[in-house]
Structures are given as structure tokens and as C-alpha cells.
Chain A
Amino acid sequence: MNTTHHLRKLFGRTMEGLCLAAAVVAMIPLFAFLWQLFAKGAGAITLALFTQLPLPPGEVGGGLRNAILGTLLVVGMATGVGIPVGIGAAIYMSEFADPRLTAALRFCCDVLSGVPSIVMGLLAFQLVVRPLHHFSALSGSLALAFIMLPVVVITTQEMLHLVPHSLREAGHALGIPSWRIAASISLRAAAPGILTGAILSVSRIAGETAPMLFTAFGNPYQSLDPNAPIATLPHTIFTYAISPYDDWHRLAWGGALVLVLGVLGATLLSRFILWRHQRGLNA
């Protein structure tokens, strides 16, 4: 009796130890990645990285100005379409639509958010690039908008779902028109959560590379024309990473650090907003 007791206790401790070991192993990739990123990227962060254009292969120096500005433009245009449409759809789903329609649309969004980004790139290629016969920043933005749309809808709808019904009823009791209830009561109350979701969706598309390959296509020169091929940061990092040139590898790590600081910064910012909001609600 005593020995089995000790045995199962020992076995339990061992398995718990394995779980803790798994938790430690699970953290290794992040820290290994961040370590390399800062070790190799920090040296590449120079003024030239932000102000100069890339040089021809093999030459030392140059920067990623075109790619950084390109990413800002492509992501900016995608956000300008994706976020309003996504929030609008979520408002319709939570304020006006029949519950069965809402459930169906929600299901669509869940499925859409699982569609690989490269497939969305293929869609944008067929919708824009093929009819116009040329690659363009616009087609890249469209692909990114497709990718972010379901994410925005899902987070917004969940946040609107959390707004207590009594608030809306109070609005109706005061004779406020329903559009104003949606905009000034539901949306206003859910704003921090919606903002969090929006920031997360932007940071998710900012690093997208696969759909850029055959939409935005890349461009070694400076371009801000929506109707022309454009360089984006993730795509440039990919091109440089698989190139054989040491100086391009250096630039790739520098660009990677810029991208990560942007993306992780946005993620932490959104968590902070949500945390402050939740603390405000609990207080």
C-alpha cells in the first residue's frame, strides 16, 4: 500500500515535471528568435536604412526606404477599406440582423479567417492583376483587406456582444433613433475592444508576404503610385534573406527588426488598451 502510494506520487511528480519542461521549451522559440533578431538586427538599424534606396546586388550599403514607405501605403489602403467595412458588417450583425443570419455570417467569418493568405493573394491576382495586366499596390492592398476583414468582423462583433442590452434599451426608451444607438451607445461602449481588434488585424497584415508576391510584386525604386508595382518590407526581407549577398542579409535583419518592433509594439499596445479598459470596468 505504502509503496504504491509512493510510486504514484513519484510518477505524478515526474509527469508534472514534464509539463513544466514543456512550458519552458514552449518559450524557447520566442527568445531564440528575439535574441538573434536583436543581435543581428540592431547593428543594421542606421539612418541609411530609413532614408536610402536599395543598391544593386553585391554593393554594400543602401537602405529600405522604398519598402518601408511601400508597406505603410499598402497596409494603410487595406486598413482604410478593411476596418470600416468590417466594423459596419459587425454592427449589422449585432444590432439589426436576424440571429440566424448573424450566426451564418459569423460562420463565414470563422471559415474565411482560416483561408490561407496565399489563396487571398491568388484571388486578388485574378480580380485586379489579370484584368489590368499589371501588378499594383492596389491589388496588394485588396488582398490584405480580404485577409483582415474576417478578423475585424469577429473581434468587433464579440466586443459589441459584450455591451449590455439594458444600455440599448435605455436608448430606445429615450426615443433615440436606432442608428444613433448603434453608433453612440453600442459602438462607443465597445470602442476600446474594437480598437484592440483593429490594431491586431493591422499588425497581422503588416507582416504578410505570400500574397504580395504576385500582387504588389516588389519594386527596387521608390514608388507611391497605387497603380504600379511597389516594394513592401516583408517581401523585401524575403528576397534579401534568400539572396547570396552578406550585405543583403544584414539589411534583411535590420528590416526584420523594424517590422517586429512595429508588430510587437502594436500587439503590446492593444493589450495595454484592453487591460486599462478592463481595469476601468472593474473599478
Chain B
Amino acid sequence: MDDAVLDSTGRITPGQILPYRAEDLQRQGSGRSADRVFRLTTGLCAAVVGALLLVVILFMVKGSALAFRDHGFGFMFSPEWDPTNQKYGALTFLYGTAYTSLIGMAIALPLGVFTAVALVEILPRGPAKLISLAVELLAAIPSVLLGLWGIFELVPLVRRFEIYIYKSPTGLRHLPIFSGAPLGVGYLAAGLILAIMALPFILSVTREVLLQVPASQREAAYALGATRWQAIWRFILPYSWKGIFGAGLLGLARVLGETMAVTMVIGNTPQIKASLFASGYTLASVIANEFTEAPSELAISALISLGLILLVVTIVLNAGARLMILYLNRRMGTREVK
């Protein structure tokens, strides 16, 4: 009777997964002490994970204390960054990060959403799979390599576009956002790189959201005589806007902290300019460029404060987006999207 749950070969029924004899398992490591040790070890691992979030917040706050004590909270809003005179302010970099992220999201969000619609609603399965694979591979390319490509391919391309605008007889170059010398490096190049980096993320989340739309929603649209586009625009997308908004928040959080690719194409000039063509500086890239050459403890602390700002913003965005998705799922009564 002992072998009632075992099949004829003496294995537990889903045999490919569990090639053990039950007797072997019972014999080994019997007793509670092994259990307790295992539980304790894995519990410690879990504690490490939980502690990591606290440790990172704690140390970033501790590291930036000196700068905040010296400059006060005015640190956040001062446009001055002059390490030789021990003057530090975050505003220039906050502006650069916000501006480049805005450009990146303004490109990536519509592109990602339209592509997701094409993948889920329009294209047949084969090509759709191929395209999503191609875009997912894009996400696997390290930031520094996109920066390398940016320096040698994207920046010259952007420069050509800038020269075209500059020479164009329409006088577009007198508009504030197109003013300045055609350098190639600058906010526009950085924004384009960020768009490329955010695209796979926005696409995959939006795709998931669209796939969750119940078939009845689609059928209702067609029953009312909608064309396919009307079904998409009036019935499917409105059902998904909140999820897509969440995707946008998560994508934004990712883009804000991007370092290498941006550092390589933004021009690294601490200035606040309205023009897309001007070079600038972001929070992450100033840390990357100046940290190892920081002339004083105060400079290090100021750079860590910039990191703290990044940390706080990304935590708030991430936590906000996840809580929103959780809340929406609970309200709609659907399963949690993983």
C-alpha cells in the first residue's frame, strides 16, 4: 500500500520532473534540524533582499548629509556648479534629466503604443513574434554600446539634421527650440537614445495590457459595426489607458537613471538651454564624469546628493506605478499582471 502514489517504475507520477524514489527522499536529511537550517538560510537571504532597499536609502542619505548641511535645501534649486569654488547646485542637472527624459518619452510612448497595437491587433502571429523578439533584443544591448553607436552614427545624423534646419530658408532656426550651433551632441541626441532604450520596455508592458483586454470588448465593437481601427481606438485603447499610463511611469523611471549612453552624446556642458540642439548635462552623467575626480569631500557629497535625488524619484515612480497597477487590477477584478 505504501506505493499507492507511485507508478509502476517506483516514481512519483509526473516522472519526468521528479526522478526520485520517495524512499530516498525520506531517508535523506530526516529530522527537524535540517529543516530549521534550511529555513534559516533562505530566510537570511530574504532578509538581505529586504535590507538592501533600506541600506541603499540609508547610505545615500548619509553620504549626502554633508552637502545638504553645507548648502541647505537651496542645493536643489541653485543653478551654480563650480567645484573649484565649492559651489554646488542641482538645478542644471535636474533640468537636463527632465528635458532629455521628456524628449525620450515623447518619442517612445506613441511609438511603443502604436507598435503594440500593430503587434496585438493587426499583424498575424508570425511577423508579430519576430518584431517583438527584435525589440526585446534591443533591450539586451548594454547602454554603453548604444552610446558607442550614438557617438559614431546617431550624433553625425543629428548634426546633419541640425545643419539642414540651420540652412533651411524657412527660418526655423530662429525658433528657440531650434536655435544654436549644429553640434550634433546635445539634448536631442540624448533624447533619441533614451527613446530607443525606453521603447522595448513600453512596448512589452503595453502589449501585455492589450492582450488582457477581454474578447467581449472587441466583439461588442464589431457588433456595433465599428471598423477595426474604431474598435482599437474607441473600445480597446480606452480600456487600456491606465495600464499604458503605468507603463509610461515605469519607462520614465528607467530613463531617468540612464547614464552611459546619455553621457556619451549629451555634450556634458552644465547649462540650461531651451534649444533641442544645445548640449547639456544630466544628474547621472555628472556623477559618472566627475565622481572620481571630485576635489573634496564636499564635492563627493554633492554628487552623492544628486544620486539621492535620482534614487528618491525612481523609488517614488516605481512604487507609484506598481501600486496603481495593483489597485487597478483589484478594482477590475482581473488577475495580477506579472
Contact indicator B227/A122 (Cβ below 8 Å)? no
Q: Which of B138-159 contact A (CB under 8 A)?
A: 138, 140-149, 151-153
Binds B, one of A17-25, A42-50, A219-227: A17-25
Contact of A126 among B50, B63, B229, B254 (CB under 8 A): B63
Known A-B contacts A184-B18, A259-B142; the reply to A175 vs B45 at CB < 8 A is no
What's the least CB distance linking A275 to chain B, in Å? 11
Known A-B contacts A111-B319, A179-B29, A179-B39; the reply to A85 vs B111 at CB < 8 A is no
B residues engaging A (CB < 8 A)? 5, 12-14, 16-18, 20, 22, 25-26, 28-32, 34-35, 37-39, 41-46, 48-50, 52-53, 55-56, 59-60, 62-63, 110-112, 114-115, 117-119, 121-123, 131, 134-135, 137-138, 140-149, 151-153, 196, 199, 203, 227-230, 232-233, 250, 253-254, 256-260, 264, 284, 287-288, 291-292, 304, 307, 310-311, 314-315, 317-319, 322, 338
Contact indicator A89/B45 (Cβ below 8 Å)? yes
**B31 to chain A: which residues have CB within 8 Å?**
177
Closest residue of chain B to A127, judged by CB?
A: B59
What's the least CB distance linking B112 to chain A, in Å? 7
Contact of B111 among A25, A37, A176 (CB under 8 A): A25
Contact indicator A237/B135 (Cβ below 8 Å)? no
**A78 to chain B: which residues have CB within 8 Å?**
none
A112 to B56, CA, bound (A): 9
Known A-B contacts A170-B12, A213-B292; the reply to A111 vs B318 at CB < 8 A is yes
Closest residue of chain B to A182, judged by CB?
A: B38
Contact indicator B257/A117 (Cβ below 8 Å)? yes
A122 to B310, CA, bound (A): 12
Contact indicator B137/A12 (Cβ below 8 Å)? no
A271 to B124, CA, bound (A): 21
A137 to B248, CA, bound (A): 36
Binds B, one of A51-59, A62-70, A248-256: A248-256
A221 to B5, CA, bound (A): 62
**B12 to chain A: which residues have CB within 8 Å?**
170, 174
What's the least CB distance linking A9 to chain B, in Å? 6
A residues engaging B (CB < 8 A)? 8-9, 11-13, 15-16, 18-20, 22-23, 25-27, 29-33, 36-37, 40, 84-89, 91-93, 95-97, 104-105, 107-112, 114-120, 122-123, 125-127, 146, 149-150, 153, 158, 167, 170-171, 173-180, 182-185, 188-189, 203-204, 206-210, 213-214, 217, 234-235, 237-238, 241-242, 249, 252-253, 256, 259-260, 263-264, 267, 280
**B319 to chain A: which residues have CB within 8 Å?**
107, 111
**A108 to chain B: which residues have CB within 8 Å?**
49-50, 52-53
**B43 to chain A: which residues have CB within 8 Å?**
92, 96-97
Q: With contacts defined as CB atoms under 8 Å apart, how many contacts are there between chain A and chain B in the complex? A: 297
Known A-B contacts A89-B49, A116-B257; the reply to A9 vs B153 at CB < 8 A is no
A50 to B191, CA, bound (A): 35
Contact indicator A93/B141 (Cβ below 8 Å)? no
Interface of B is mostly: helix
Contact indicator B250/A97 (Cβ below 8 Å)? no
Contact indicator B317/A19 (Cβ below 8 Å)? no
Closest residue of chain A to B112, judged by CB?
A: A26
Closest residue of chain B to A242, judged by CB?
A: B264
**B147 to chain A: which residues have CB within 8 Å?**
238, 241
A176 to B43, CA, bound (A): 20
Contact of B134 among A30, A107, A241, A252 (CB under 8 A): A30
Contact indicator B307/A119 (Cβ below 8 Å)? yes
Closest residue of chain A to B338, judged by CB?
A: A158
Contact indicator A153/B49 (Cβ below 8 Å)? yes
What's the least CB distance linking B33 to chain A, in Å? 10
Which of B26, B146, B149 has the most chain A CB within a 10 Å cutoff? B149
